[in-house]
Amino acid sequence: MRSAAILLRTLAWILILGWSLALGAQNSLDAPHSSVTVRVFKTGLFATFAHDHTVAAPISEGSLDATHRTVELRFRADDLRLRDKVSDAERAEIEQTMKSNKVLDVARFPEIHFISSSVEPSDAGRFKVRGDLALHGVTKPLEILVQSSGNRYTGTIKLKQTDFAITPVKVAGGTVRVKDEIEIVFEIVAAQ
């Protein structure tokens, strides 16, 4: 009876250790050294009086498993920060608009996430990553071409805000508008 209990405890420890190691392998994303940047462009009759915006999107959680070719990235919408060189007052106004119900509506949709469904080699150092992006309460499939170099994975993708039920901002009676298409530039770093 006692040897059965010891055997069960040993098996439990092996399972816990194995599970911990598996989780460690999946969580090999170096979030502090990874970056995701959103570029938002202006248009309209008086667009020359406005400026484009660059927004930093820090990764709140993520996993990158190169062995099993999976990636998952999560962002807290409220953590997005404007990187433009503007006054503090202008920065606060732009960020407030970006996070309000006029754009991201972070109160209703606090998280943005991407989960891969497949990662296929394309050619030397390149991969086609397919997955779903959930943004503003809408989930859409994406296909992203990713370049790899050592432990770094880089790429760019363009999205339309209206595909995610976001109406691009207009000011001055629509003479200055945010373009529907935005650009996302990323560098994802795998932990060494």
pLDDT score recorded for residue 179: 87
Per-residue pLDDT of the chain (192 residues; tens, 9 = 90+): 444 333 333 333 333 333 333 333 444 889 999 999 999 887 655 445 567 789 999 999 999 887 888 999 999 999 999 998 889 998 999 899 999 999 999 999 999 999 999 999 888 889 999 999 999 999 999 999 999 998 899 999 999 999 999 998 766 554 456 789 999 999 999 987
pLDDT score recorded for residue 74: 95
Within 13 Å of residue 48, how many CA atoms lie on the same side as its CB? 1
Does residue 69 lie within any of the structural domains?
Answer: yes
Counting the structural domains of the chain, the total is: 1
Bin 179: left if φ > 0, else alpha if -120 < ψ < 50, else beta.
beta
* Burial 36-66, CB ≥16 within 10 A → b, else e: bebbbbbebeebeebbebbbebebbebbbbe
What does the DSSP 8-state code read for residue 20?
H
Does residue 5 lie within any of the structural domains?
Answer: no
Residue 64 structural domain: 27-189
pTM score of the predicted model: 0.79
Does residue 6 lie within any of the structural domains?
Answer: no
Q: What are phi and psi of 101, to 5 degrees?
A: -70, -5
pLDDT score recorded for residue 176: 54
CATH code, domain carrying 144: 2.40.128.110
Cα torsion 175, 178, 179, 180 to 10°: value is -120
Tell me if 28 sits within 8 A of 34, measured CB to CB.
no
Does residue 7 lie within any of the structural domains?
Answer: no
